[in-house]
Amino acid sequence: MAKIKVTKVKSVIKRPKNQKRIMESLGLHRMNQTVEHEDTPNILGMINKVNHLVSVETK
């Protein structure tokens, strides 16, 4: 499967609790932190919910 690099570009302060939990489940805790995930429907759904807080790069 393809890989996706997800980078946190905005803070989760004053965001709904579900968006904070999604960011934690993606493994993003600090600003400008980058994690790599498989390109699965579950991950893409989570990224879609917080796309205004992250930057996505496909490999």
- Phi-psi map region of 34: left, alpha, beta (phi>0 left; psi -120 to 50 alpha): beta
pLDDT tens digits for range 9-52:
999 999 999 999 999 999 999 999 999 999 999 999 999 999 99
Map out the domains of the chain as residue ranges.
3-58
> pTM of the entire structure?
0.93
How many helices and strands, by DSSP H and E, does the chain display? 2, 3
CATH topology of domain 3-58: Ribosomal Protein L30; Chain: A, (3.30.1390)
pLDDT at position 54 is: 98
